[in-house]
Amino acid sequence: MDPILSIRNLTKRFGGLTAVNKVSWDIYPGEVVGLLGDNGAGKSTLIKCVSGVYAADEGEIYFAGKRTNYQRPIDARREGIETIYQDLALANNLDVGANIFLGREVKRSYLGGLIKTLDERKMLTESETALNSLEIHFPTLTQPIESLSGGQRQAVAIARAVYWDARLMIMDEPTNNLGVPEQQKVLELIRKLRDQGVPVILITHTLPDVFAVADRLMVMHRGRKVTEKTTAQTNTQELVQYMVGALDDTKVN
């Protein structure tokens, strides 16, 4: 099977600091892969190079076999790379349907295209379908989402990404700031995504999450990839050692 995402020798510098240092990594369809590392390890920067926020200084990224050259995040999104950042990027004053269709609103034309109005009914029914496909149930879809809990808003962000046919989902610390029951629900959603064939890159500090849902994982330290394993092959203590730099597979001779 060919990888859906292929990163080759990626390097990104900010001035004198090398945030990402010759990282190579492959992601295959239908898997959940954890991306671990301490603060400053370069996880966010790597991901932002993939999703079009940054342009890499060296190396290549291949998505679905094609070399990528994204100038802006929206270019990556058009290809199907959806990123859910920590702050979710949802409009709290709008309802679920409005958020799922944010920027991609469905319109109805009148007078031969002279007047275009929002097709609110269509957006609502489509939203319900999207949520149902992930088996998410909200009591009401027409209140502004600021009234929802953190986990519910995560669900909306995930549903939005799924609706627009994400071919690769990147999630940055999705269970931060959530209570335990909600964390479980989010993890359940991640499993459903994998079941639907959507690969997920999960950036997280929460090692139990990795063991709960991830098939494989990669650890970064100071900008370099230091190990890549399947979750079954490792345990918490070992991972911590990799994260702090005590262990490093690339330095093993």
237 Rama class: left (phi>0) / alpha (psi -120 to 50) / beta: alpha
**Which residue, among 203, 208, 156, 157, has the nearest Cα to 183 in the 3D structure?**
208
Q: Figure out which of the listed residues 6, 45, 68, 154 binds other proteins, where binding follows CB under 8 A.
A: 154
d(CA 245, CA 82): 30
Do residues 22 and 227 lie in contact, with contact meaning Cβ atoms separated by under 8 Å? Answer: no
Cβ-based neighbours of 232, under 8 Å, separated by 6 or more: none
The DSSP H or E segment spanning 224 is: strand 224-230
165 near other proteins, judged by CB under 8 A: no
Q: Figure out which of the listed residues 16, 103, 112, 113 binds other proteins, where binding follows CB under 8 A.
A: 103
Q: Which is nearer to other proteins, 23 or 98 (CB)?
A: 98
109 near other proteins, judged by CB under 8 A: no
d(CA 180, CA 182): 5
197 near other proteins, judged by CB under 8 A: no
247 near other proteins, judged by CB under 8 A: no
Q: Figure out which of the listed residues 185, 205, 222, 229 binds other proteins, where binding follows CB under 8 A.
A: 185
196 near other proteins, judged by CB under 8 A: no
**Which residue, among 31, 34, 25, has the nearest Cα to 7 in the 3D structure?**
25
d(CA 77, CA 31): 20
Shortest Cβ 155–other proteins spacing (Å)? 7
Do residues 99 and 93 lie in contact, with contact meaning Cβ atoms separated by under 8 Å? Answer: no
Q: Figure out which of the listed residues 9, 14, 67, 107 binds other proteins, where binding follows CB under 8 A.
A: 107
Shortest Cβ 92–other proteins spacing (Å)? 6
86 near other proteins, judged by CB under 8 A: yes
151 near other proteins, judged by CB under 8 A: yes
80 near other proteins, judged by CB under 8 A: no
Interacting residues with other proteins between 22 and 51 (CB under 8 A): none
Shortest Cβ 98–other proteins spacing (Å)? 6
- Cα separation values, 120 from 21, 125, 206, 236, Å: 47, 9, 39, 48
- Cβ neighbours of 250 (radius 10 Å): 10
18 near other proteins, judged by CB under 8 A: no
Residue 68 gets which letter from DSSP?
P
138 near other proteins, judged by CB under 8 A: yes
Q: Which is nearer to other proteins, 193 or 239 (CB)?
A: 193
Instruction: Specify the stretch interacting with other proteins by CB under 8 A; choose among 10-18, 26-34, 131-139, 208-216.
Output: 131-139
Q: Which residues bind other proteins (CB under 8 A)?
A: 73-74, 77, 85-94, 98, 102-105, 107, 116-118, 134-140, 143, 146-155, 176-178, 185, 188-189, 191
